[in-house]
Amino acid sequence: MRAVRRYRCIVTLACATVIALTGGFLINMVTALSGSYWMVAILLCNLLCLAGIALVCFVSVRGENRLEVQLRRTIGHLRTMAENVPGALFQWFMSADGGYGLRYISPRADELLGINPELAVSDWKHLHLHPGDIARWAESLGRASKSMEDWAFEGRIVMPDGFVKWVRCLAKPVKEKDGTVVFNGIILDITDAKDTEREMKEIRRNSERLGAEILLVNQSLNETNETLKRINQQKNEILGVAAHDLKNPLGGVVGFAGAVRMTLDEPDLEAVRKDLVEMSESIECSARHMLNIINGLLDASALEDGTVELMRSPCDMALLVQSVESMNEVALTRKNISILTDCENSCVVNGDPQRLRELIDNLVSNAIKYSQAGSRVWISARHKDLSGIIFSVKDEGPGLTDDDKKRLFGKFQKLSARPTAGESSTGLGLSIAKSIVELHGGHIWAESQLGQGSTFHVELPINPTGSSFKAFKPF
């Protein structure tokens, strides 16, 4: 700027000198041709012109000095601002012929991006963009240059020491007359913000995971509480069953035992032998009844806890049915109930013979217990297919209501039907039967209409085809 001003001053003075010399020449010519008055007038005109030119030069130089001071002040302000903004100012161009690069980047680029600003302007590739962001960066720039919308981009810069920084670029595009699109913008360091964002996401994930764990713990606690309530209820039911069902046989044992003791005081025992035998049988019957109740409670508890281990062996269902029929012979005779069996040959399952016999006995004894005297009970076993058998027990009892069917296999369930000869019932038989069936991989269900009897079906898997075994004989 100073050189331009000096050049203008020299040109002005040269023009003034030329004018003065020309004026002197003209003065000499006029002097030679005319009198002295014309010479004085022309000389005054030249002096006035020279003074005007000098004045113009002085005013021009003074104005340029003021403009130069203002320009320096403005440039200083811009430089100060560029050096102190929280980022690097830049100017990126994309020409119509496909060229692109940096026109300018502020000195903060050295601190922010780890690169000399002049080096970056000479070749923008010295800005080490992260390889994973280059394609996205180029695509976003191209889209903004076409739409002329504000450009915003977040990406990574690899510093010379290998450290990766996150930066955000914000710019406004302007199109020049030759079609070049210039982005004027700023580059900001957002590494700390990204770190905070990642930490917040991690905190949020941990919070969600902790919330899920707390929810699971609460759910587990609720389930545990429900289990404890159910166990407590079952304990009360067991105590109730034990107190109610054991009371009568135990009273009978005590009464008959006292009678036996008194009878033993008789001088002639032979005369009371028959009474002693009957009372002993009653004591034994009551004791067996109590033992059956206790065994039922223990079996139900063991089956629910999963502590029962099956002792598997090949079991012929027809032989098991014969064994159970023999076990219930006294009850059948007392109520004059006949059993009709229809078991196909080779209905053999690979199971625990003791548990399967207990299953059949529960179903058969229930059929006898709830059937009227003189009625019939049907027992059948048949092959369903190559993979299983169907075992069924049908009676002519009172049948089941819809409410009975919903509670049929629950523990301690008292159904609408009552034993026809005053037999006791703990409400555990069908629950135990269901557990045994499920332990063997099968399932149990009932078919019944009120007033028309009931049929209980059990489906059990059989041994694989071709397996060789010796069928279990229960007696």
- Of 84-93, 319-328, 416-425, which range is least confident? 416-425
Instruction: Write down the pLDDT at residue 433.
Output: 86
Instruction: Name which CATH class applies to 311-461.
Output: alpha beta
How far apart are alpha carbons 401 and 450 in whole angstroms? 6
Question: Is the pLDDT score of 471 beyond 60?
Answer: no
Question: Exposed, middle or buried: residue 456 (CB in 10 Å: 0-12, 13-18, 19+)?
Answer: buried
Instruction: Write down the pLDDT at residue 470.
Output: 36
Phi/psi at 131 (nearest 5 deg)? Answer: -55, -30
**Residue-averaged pLDDT of the chain:** 77
Binned at pLDDT 50, 70 and 90, residue 161 comes out as confident
- 353-369 helix and 317-327 helix, angle to the nearest 10 degrees: 50
Question: Is the pLDDT score of 256 beyond 80?
Answer: no
Rounded average pLDDT over 440-468? 80
Tokens of 296: 């039922």
Task: Give the 3-state secondary structure of residue 24.
Answer: helix
Task: Give the 3-state secondary structure of residue 284.
Answer: helix
Instruction: Write down the pLDDT at residue 393.
Output: 94
How far apart are alpha carbons 51 and 45 in whole angstroms? 10
How far apart are alpha carbons 119 and 109 in whole angstroms? 10
Binned at pLDDT 50, 70 and 90, residue 251 comes out as low
Handedness of CA 200, 206, 212, 214 (dihedral sign): negative
Residue whose pair of structure tokens reads 């004085």 in the numeric block: 40
pLDDT in tens, 374-396: 899 999 999 987 788 999 999 99
Contact criterion met (CB below 8 Å) for 389 and 382: yes
Top pLDDT among 274 and 373 is at 373
Phi/psi at 140 (nearest 5 deg)? Answer: -70, -40
Question: Is the pLDDT score of 469 beyond 50?
Answer: no
Which residues are paired to 385 by β-bridges?
A: 388
The Cβ of residue 141 has, within 10 Å, a number of other Cβ atoms equal to: 20
pTM: 0.44
Instruction: Write down the pLDDT at residue 377.
Output: 93
pLDDT in tens, 180-190: 999 998 888 88
How far apart are alpha carbons 211 and 217 in whole angstroms? 10
Instruction: Write down the pLDDT at residue 52.
Output: 64
- 247-263 helix and 191-245 helix, angle to the nearest 10 degrees: 30
Report whether CATH 1.10.3470 matches the domain 212-299. no
Instruction: Write down the pLDDT at residue 85.
Output: 66
Distances (CA, A) of 370 to 295, 323, 360, 362, 417: 21, 21, 16, 12, 7
Question: Is the pLDDT score of 318 beyond 70?
Answer: yes
Instruction: Write down the pLDDT at residue 474.
Output: 35
Which CATH number is 86-189 given?
3.30.450.20
pLDDT in tens, 50-101: 666 666 666 666 666 676 666 666 656 556 665 666 788 888 999 988 888 8
pLDDT in tens, 2-29: 555 555 555 555 565 656 555 555 555 5
How far apart are alpha carbons 310 and 351 in whole angstroms? 7
pLDDT in tens, 392-416: 999 998 888 888 888 887 766 666 6
Rounded average pLDDT over 225-236? 74
Task: Give the 3-state secondary structure of residue 393.
Answer: strand
